[in-house]
Copies of this chain bind each other. A is one copy, B any other.
Amino acid sequence: MTKLEEICSVAHESRIKVGTLDTDIKNAVLLQCADSLEKHCDKVLKANELDIANAKEKLMAPAMIDRLTLNKERIEGMADGLRQIAKLNDPIGEVMNMTRRPNGLIIGKKRVSIGVIGIIFEARPNVTTDAFGLCFKTGNCVILKGGSDAINSNIAIVSILKKILKKNNIPDGALSLIESTDRETTIEFMRMNRYVDLLIPRGGAGLIQNVVNNSTIPVIQTGTGNCHVYVDKDADFDMAIDIIVNAKTQRISVCNACESVVVHKDIADKFIPKMYKALREHKVEVRCDEYSKALLETKKHAILADEEDWGTEYLDYILSLKVVDSLDEAIEHINRYNTSHSETIITNDYDSAQKFLDEVDSACVYVNASTRFSDGNEFGFGAEIGISTQKLHARGPMGLEALTSYKYTIYGNGQIRK
Q: Which residues 236-268 in A have Cβ within 8 Å of B in the complex?
A: 236, 239, 242-243, 246-247, 250
Closest to A219 in B: B218
A75 to B250, CA, bound (A): 61
B406 A395 Cβ-Cβ under 8 A: yes
A216 to B413, CA, bound (A): 44
Q: Chain B interface: which of A29-37, A76-84, A367-375? A: A367-375
A390 to B250, CA, bound (A): 41
A358 to B369, CA, bound (A): 43
**Does A407 reach chain B (CB closer than 8 Å)?**
yes
A9 to chain B, nearest CB (A): 11
Closest to A367 in B: B411
B216 A213 Cβ-Cβ under 8 A: yes
Q: How many residues of A contact B (CB 8 A)?
A: 66
Mask, A394-418, CB within 8 Å of B = 1, is 0111000000011111111111110
Q: Chain B interface: which of A50-58, A99-107, A271-279, A297-305? A: A99-107
**Does A63 reach chain B (CB closer than 8 Å)?**
no
B115 A250 Cβ-Cβ under 8 A: no
Among B20, B378, B392, B417, point to the contact of A373 (Cβ < 8 A).
B417
Dominant SS among interface residues on chain A: mixed
**Does A179 reach chain B (CB closer than 8 Å)?**
no
A411 to B369, CA, bound (A): 7
A220 to B405, CA, bound (A): 14
**Does A16 reach chain B (CB closer than 8 Å)?**
yes
**Does A6 reach chain B (CB closer than 8 Å)?**
no
A412 to B235, CA, bound (A): 13
B residues near A367, Cβ cutoff 8 Å: 410-412
**Given A99-B380, A392-B392, A412 and B368 touching (CB < 8 A)?**
yes
A358 to B368, CA, bound (A): 46
A121 to chain B, nearest CB (A): 20
B residues near A363, Cβ cutoff 8 Å: 407-408
**Given A379-B107, A396-B407, A15 and B370 touching (CB < 8 A)?**
no
**Does A357 reach chain B (CB closer than 8 Å)?**
yes
B16 A335 Cβ-Cβ under 8 A: yes
B414 A405 Cβ-Cβ under 8 A: no
B residues near A415, Cβ cutoff 8 Å: 368-370, 373
A373 B115 Cβ-Cβ under 8 A: no
A275 to chain B, nearest CB (A): 15
**Does A366 reach chain B (CB closer than 8 Å)?**
yes
A369 to B368, CA, bound (A): 53
A372 to B361, CA, bound (A): 39
B residues near A357, Cβ cutoff 8 Å: 409
B residues near A390, Cβ cutoff 8 Å: 197, 218
A157 to chain B, nearest CB (A): 28
**What are some 30 contacts across the A-B interface (CB < 8 A)?**
A16-B331, A16-B335, A16-B359, A105-B373, A115-B391, A197-B391, A212-B216, A213-B216, A236-B414, A246-B417, A247-B416, A250-B417, A361-B407, A362-B407, A363-B407, A363-B408, A365-B409, A367-B410, A368-B411, A368-B415, A369-B413, A369-B414, A369-B415, A373-B410, A378-B417, A391-B405, A392-B392, A392-B393, A392-B405, A397-B408
Beyond the given pairs A374-B408, A395-B408, 17 more chain A to chain B contacts, judged by CB atoms under 8 angstroms and listed by A's residue number, are: A15-B361, A16-B335, A16-B359, A193-B212, A198-B392, A212-B216, A218-B390, A243-B414, A364-B408, A365-B409, A367-B410, A367-B411, A369-B410, A369-B415, A373-B417, A392-B392, A395-B407
